Structure 1
Amino acid sequence: MKLCVLMATYNDERYLKSALDSILNQTYTDFELLVVNDGSTDRTVDILQHCAARDARIRVVNCEANGGLARALNIGLAQTRAQFVARMDADDIALPQRLQRQMDYLQAHPEIDVLGTFSEDIDESGRRTGRIRRMPVGVRKNADLVWTNPVIHPTVVFRADKIKQLAGYDETLRRRQDYDLWFRVVASGMKIENLPEVLLLYRETAETFRKNSATAMWQQAKIGLRGCRKIGAGPVAYMGVVVPLITSLLPLSWRRVAKRVLSKVDPRGS
């Protein structure tokens, strides 16, 4: 089996089944869906057991205690021998052609190591908000545009052996583990690409904004500044790294407004 879809979940009972169904209903069907349950205390375990009983492609790994996203993803990486790993979050929805489009592209382009896609935001009820996240497409621009976080994490398919060479995700980071990983990918000479198609519905909730606290943004800024030095990025990258930190200092009600304004200059789109 060439493809493993890797999902980590922690207390995602509200959205989990929709996320699982969106993967199980893909037009590309030859995959294993490996779900790492990171110590959930809600109905997540019951939902996973029910779905796994109905579809043999689901394999569940249960962690006794919550250890964080990076640890859960590394556990999943260690469990799979697939050539490719597709990331998926437990609250998003993959559109039916997602895996087929990405697998076709990666097999036709062996020089690409990490492949993301565009996405469209949805709200807590699953309604599309109209915001399209357009990511930088050209591989040659990664060093300049990495401040945007060059791929949307739950859209990614990567070559498993390449990410394992980098020791996977940094488990000392509670958040922004993907941001750190992409800097290391670029610094190592690997290539990142994005398909200019919306292939994932990305869920944003009130909790999303609450998590983007000043503390979290300071952690992100530190990762970004360190990464910019590592890859020799230009001044625009440094500027972009500190913008989220500045906006995190605003009252919660103002952050949405600031996000809409900044989206006009952000290469990820509006």
Structure 2
Amino acid sequence: MNRWAAVAYEIPQKPMISVIMANYNCEAFLASAIRSVLNQTNTALELILVDDGSSDRSVEIAQEIAKQDARLSVFSGTRYGGPAPVRNHALERAKGDWVAIVDSDDLIRPDRLERMLTAAEDTGADILIDNLAVFQSDGPANIFTMFEGDLRDRPARIMESEYIKANMLYGRGSKLGYAKPLIRRSALEANSLRYNETMRIGEDYDLIVRLLSTGARMMSVPDVMYFYRKHGNSISHRLDAVALDALEQTAGEALRQPTPHAEVTAAHAARLKSIRRAVIFDQILTALKRKNVLGAAKLVGTEPSVIPLLRMPLIHRIQQRTGNPLARSDQHLEAELVKLRALCEA
């Protein structure tokens, strides 16, 4: 049964929210991601999907849904080369007062955008983030959430230095760079801000930290309303030499920007240090894969702080074989995910 045949939505003359979705070869999950957006209780939205030259059936799937719901616009036929230029393409077409980011393999609760919009307007936020649940697409869901500490319990304002410190590579605590923000579009336009197209990962963090540097107000709500899917083709958890080089360059540029706030400068310096440690770690792994043990040992000598990171590949391998028996998946969120998947995958 075609669940879209019952109701035909027209795009609002002036949508309140523009949801932008970048896609590349995500046919297995795309329909569910689209439906989770179009199922929102706040129907005054537009969904702008920009395809990055997919070779699978992604565009065909999206266009079929767009025939039934005019709020979905599909742009395809160009290879942009990453989520940053794709999102910039979508931003140029956005008409809403607010912009929301949803990835083409993820799911959001039906009331997410309505609740986030209310919270943003009530708090005067220019950027609002919610808690995020990470789940495994195959096998046990093994759900865990992004927020730690006080962010789990109550709404909070996130200052620029705090946001930077929550984005250290291989750092502890909340990983706010994974958050999918709701952004006041006028804050972007007033400062002519767009995604940095040299970045293949970390582009959301980079945009938000530049927004914060202009004085934008960022708030968080503790509610878990975004479900982030991890699978074999996921881009965001892959760190390689090219991606790390782009991260290091942008972090260095951020550190060189003048700011009257010493805590911001210190946070940028600490993040740059964490990236440089990650670069050495990547070089060590490459050396070990090539059985160059002596070369790996020399690299460890140049940066002893990488030693704790060397346990991670072993831990990951054990978890793959054992199903990570020490992990405690959130049972309540697992039940909610089952309902959400049933709603979006029907």
Same fold (TM over 0.5): yes
Partner of 2:25: 11
Mean CA deviation greater in 133-142 or 14-23: 133-142
Contact 1:88 1:154 in 2 (8 A): no
Q: Distance in 2 between matches of 1:75 and 1:5?
A: 13
Are 1:35 and 2:49 an aligned pair? yes
SS in 1 for 2:76: strand
Among all aligned residue pairs of Structure 1 and Structure 2, give the percentage whose two residues are the same amino acid.
Answer: 26
Letter in 2 for 1:219: A
Seen in structure 2, the aligned counterparts of structure 1 residues 240 and 67 have a Cα distance that, compared at 3 Å, is closer
Q: Distance in 2 between matches of 1:89 and 1:171?
A: 17
Aligned residues between the structures: 258
Q: Which structure: larger Rg?
A: 2
Contact 1:120 1:200 in 2 (8 A): yes
Residues 91-106 of structure 1: pairs in structure 2 closer than 5 A: 91-106=105-120
Seen in structure 2, the aligned counterparts of structure 1 residues 49 and 257 have a Cα distance that, compared at 3 Å, is same
Out of 131, 142, 159, the position equivalent to 1:118 is 131
Mean CA deviation greater in 207-216 or 112-121: 207-216
How far did 1:178 drift? 1.7
TM-score (structure 2 length as normaliser): 0.66
Partner of 2:160: 142
How far did 1:105 drift? 1.0
**CA-based RMSD:** 2.8
Residues 184-223 of structure 1: pairs in structure 2 closer than 5 A: 184-208=210-234, 211-223=238-250
Partner of 1:60: 74
Residues 161-176 of structure 1: pairs in structure 2 closer than 5 A: 161-164=186-189, 165-176=191-202
Out of 296, 312, 315, the position equivalent to 1:254 is 312
How far did 1:143 drift? 1.4
Q: Distance in 2 between matches of 1:98 and 1:172?
A: 31
Contact 1:40 1:66 in 2 (8 A): no
Out of 119, 130, 152, the position equivalent to 2:143 is 130
How far did 1:58 drift? 0.8
Seen in structure 2, the aligned counterparts of structure 1 residues 57 and 210 have a Cα distance that, compared at 3 Å, is closer
Q: Which has the higher strand share?
A: 1
Are 1:156 and 2:181 an aligned pair? yes
TM-score (structure 1 length as normaliser): 0.83
Partner of 1:243: 274
Q: Distance in 1 between matches of 2:311 and 2:31?
A: 30
Structure with larger RCO (C-alpha < 8 A, sep 6+)? 1
Partner of 2:63: 49
Q: Distance in 2 between matches of 1:129 and 1:21?
A: 23
Contact 2:130 2:179 in 1 (8 A): no
How far did 1:115 drift? 0.8
